[in-house]
Amino acid sequence: MKKIAFFLILIFGCTIQAQNDIQKSIKTFEKAFQNKNYNKIKDLLAPQFTVGVGDSSSNEFYLNSIFKAFPALDSIQVGKSVTIKNETFVLVDFCFNGKEKKPSKIVFNSENKMLYVTFFDSLYRVDRHAQVKEVASIPFQIIENGIAIKIKLNKADREFLMLFDTGADGMALNPDSAYKAGVVVTKSKSASVVGGSQQVQYSADNTIYIGDQVLKNQGLVIFPKHGVYDGLFGANLLRNFITSVNFDTMTIDLYNFGKAKPLVFDYKSGLPVVKMNLTFEDKKTVEGSFTFDTGAGYDLIAYGPFNHKNNLEANLKTEYSSVNYSLGKQTKIVGGAIPNVGLNGNNFPNVTIALQEYEEANKNWAYADGSLGIDLIRRFNFTINLLDKTVYLEPNKSFKKASSIYLGGLILDFDESQNLLVKRIIDQENEDLKKVKIGAKVTQINDFEAKDLLNPENLKKVKETKESKDFIIEQGDQSMRISI
């Protein structure tokens, strides 16, 4: 009986000590907030502490922004607390001079470090405990090998065709579309692109209308026009909704943030970055961190610093050389197929990879090791939850689709009906290829019909032939034969 009593006293004593530690933390937090001093707050925060969908590396930015946005803090009034599954929820009121009280919960982990503050989250439209519900379903099309959706901007009556680009940390418009959207340039700033950075015009306080959702106070930059698109955007959705892209139904489904089930990604750069394994011909395997980038029109690219660090070009059987364009920035690349790419337990054979040229004078620009592009991503229906820093990958009907092929200056790709189509023209100098259009159908190469190239042995024979390759290509209502 004495043992039981001692045990109960011990538990009660630990509980009292934890409550006292939390009370001290809130008092220290209150004083630091009053002095608008982030350095006094950071030691109170758990490693997982975030504001809204931000990353922990952004805590100083978010908290300093909140300090500036509110008048002097008079006090933090503490109410009841409850502990659930190793997390302690403390009811508080933030009392600002001359303003109404702001009710909140401050949530602590088992080590009495702060995990999040619901008042701070609410400033960024985040409720971690809300029931997750679908708020919009947006149809999309695949145009120029990208996810294309239509939105409205500001007070313009027309719709704008936008590339949904998870590799973009904001929104960009071309100059003509910006004019039609009534965009007002507020300043110039430096923007990060693949291969470096460049100065761009920036506009604040724009409004996006997508489905029946309205996103206010959106910033955008103005970039040169590329392809048929008016512009691109990505993080504008990711920061506001759990975003689910379904290639089977061709919809982007938007959900409010809340508790959901859990590939974990890094978000320190403001873009989702996932771990991948690359296996080369000599069995060399390297692990890297790659941006999850629906705006990249390829399978995979390794950036120059990662290429240089791991000497990847020495391990790649180079099939072509070309130039990569990223919003006006040009960098040289070489390309070829590697035996395997691994992503979250899924393995993809014979994937075409591009290796970016390394520049000693520009070696520190890369925020990741490379970029995972739309051609691999679209094998999955995926959901990105920026609040929990997770992406859920569900294999779809294209999951086992054959990888793209480089042959004779062309990148070729099998569609769902196993037609072999021209996806990209690499050799821009070849006079015969200047007659070929993207989307043209290749029916035969040498003695093999297109469908025969689904057999790896047949494809290997065509690739290794020393003689010219004879293509029969159907384009519109015409058929042409070219030798390369």
Q: Are residues 438 and 386 both part of a single domain?
A: no
In this structure, the number of other CB atoms found within 10 A of the CB of residue 299 comes to 24
Q: Are residues 173 and 117 both part of a single domain?
A: no
Range 154-162, long-range pairs (CB < 8 A, 24+ positions): 154/181, 154/182, 154/183, 154/206, 154/207, 155/182, 156/180, 156/181, 156/182, 160/230, 160/231, 161/228, 161/229, 161/230, 162/229, 162/230, 162/231, 162/232, 162/233
Rounded CA-CA distance 232/75 in Å is: 44
Handedness of CA 341, 343, 348, 353 (dihedral sign): negative
CA distances for 47 relative to 62, 258, 418, angstroms: 15, 20, 49
Q: Are residues 167 and 229 both part of a single domain?
A: yes
Q: Are residues 116 and 177 both part of a single domain?
A: no
| Residue 245, in any domain of the structure | yes
Any idea what the CATH number is for the domain that residue 83 is in?
3.10.450.50
Q: Are residues 71 and 143 both part of a single domain?
A: no
In the predicted model, what is the mean pLDDT of residues 254-282? 79
pTM over 0.85: no
Residue of 357, 278, 267, 347 lying closest to 50 (CA atoms):
267
Q: Are residues 116 and 161 both part of a single domain?
A: no
pLDDT tens profile 386-395: 888 888 888 8
Rounded CA-CA distance 168/291 in Å is: 10
Q: Is the pLDDT of residue 1 over 50?
A: no
Tell me, what's the pLDDT at 6?
38
| Residue 34, in any domain of the structure | yes
Tell me, what's the pLDDT at 476?
85
Domain boundary among 395, 415, 442: 395
- The partner residues of 243 in beta bridges, in order of sequence, read 254, 384
| Separation of first and last alpha carbons in the chain | 92
Domain that residue 101 falls in: 18-122
pLDDT tens profile 205-219: 999 999 889 999 898
| Residue 246, in any domain of the structure | yes
Domain count, the chain: 4
Could you tell me which residues come within 8 angstroms of residue 69 by beta carbon, excluding any fewer than 6 positions away? 123
CA distances for 402 relative to 185, 376, 442, 457, angstroms: 45, 10, 15, 14
Q: Are residues 204 and 247 both part of a single domain?
A: yes
Domain boundary among 122, 145, 162: 122
Q: Are residues 248 and 141 both part of a single domain?
A: yes
Confidence of residue 261 (pLDDT cuts 50, 70, 90): very low
Tell me, what's the pLDDT at 194?
62
In the predicted model, what is the mean pLDDT of residues 253-277? 77
pLDDT tens profile 125-166: 888 887 778 888 999 999 988 999 999 999 999 999 999 998
Are the C-beta atoms of residues 270 and 291 closer than 8 Å to each other?
no
Tokens of 150: 């239509």
Q: What are phi and psi of 433, to 5 degrees?
A: -70, -20
Could you give the residue ranges of the DSSP H alpha helices within 181-334? 235-238, 304-310
Residue of 331, 337, 282 lying closest to 310 (CA atoms):
282
Tell me, what's the pLDDT at 208?
93
| Residue 337, in any domain of the structure | yes
Tell me, what's the pLDDT at 119?
93
Q: Are residues 251 and 278 both part of a single domain?
A: no
In the predicted model, what is the mean pLDDT of residues 114-119? 93
In the predicted model, what is the mean pLDDT of residues 43-60? 89
Q: Are residues 100 and 152 both part of a single domain?
A: no
Q: Are residues 75 and 157 both part of a single domain?
A: no
Rounded CA-CA distance 421/347 in Å is: 24
Any idea what the CATH number is for the domain that residue 241 is in?
2.40.70.10
Q: Is the pLDDT of residue 415 over 60?
A: yes
